[in-house]
Amino acid sequence: MSGQGYFISPEAGPGPGVLLLHSFWGLNRQVKDTANRLADAGFTVLAPDLAAGAVYEDEDEAMTALAEADMNVNASLVQSSIGILRRAQKNAAAPVGIIGYGSGASWALWVSARLTEEVGATVTYYGSQSIPMDGARASYLNHWATDSMVSDLEVADLGLSLQMAGADFRFEHHEGTTDGFAEHGLAAFDAEAEVVAWRQTTEFLASTLRAAQPASGDTD
């Protein structure tokens, strides 16, 4: 089922585009609910299925499937999804935003350093990336859990890489949380921390994507 996904746009009409990249649990109900919340906030959202139709509830199964996934297929899907989203958003000439959770956060960082003209804002939740971020032009908001599979060294390395790239970035550390704190339905879900992170995320996307609009304004 490669190439499948979930798409939603605001009832009032297309808004700025946001690519939503799920964690290793797959394109589950929580991801679709998050897309719906983003649409309610005025964004046009595309969530590509990076798990080929599978949805997992067991962590070991999810991690095994992630390790066995074809990275080339997913890389192509993430990049092509940005092209589709740009054509569907309000202004096709404008860069899009990305939100990634866990393994999806790694993809978000990766593609933001590859499609530098097409990505204007990147939000990640408890996920990192080891590639150099040289040339990245997006603004970044990175959410971190206190108890995480991402080590302090990986967090520091990402910060250094973004700094060396001259990127505008902000790290938010959510005390007392573990990976998954922002995903409804998981045992690690922390309602209080998620409310704070969600507000920070939507405010960041709204301000950054508006600032990234071409000077010509709407294309209507």
Asked if residue 93 is part of any domain, the answer here is: yes
Asked if residue 218 is part of any domain, the answer here is: no
Sign, CA dihedral 192-197-199-202, equals: negative
| pLDDT by residue, tens only, the chain of 220 residues | 456 899 999 999 999 999 999 999 999 999 999 999 999 999 999 999 999 999 999 999 999 999 999 999 999 999 999 999 999 999 999 999 999 999 999 999 999 999 999 999 999 999 999 999 998 999 999 999 999 999 999 999 999 999 999 999 999 999 999 999 999 999 999 999 999 999 999 999 999 997 656 544 444 4
Asked if residue 216 is part of any domain, the answer here is: no
Are the CB atoms for 197 and 173 separated by under 8 Å? no
Tell me how far apart the alpha carbons of residues 44 and 42 are, in angstroms, rounded to a whole number.
7
- Using CA atoms, how far residue 30 sits from 19, 27, 38, 185, in Å, is 15, 8, 12, 7
Asked if residue 220 is part of any domain, the answer here is: no
Total domains present in the chain: 1
Q: What is the CATH number of the domain that holds 163?
A: 3.40.50.1820
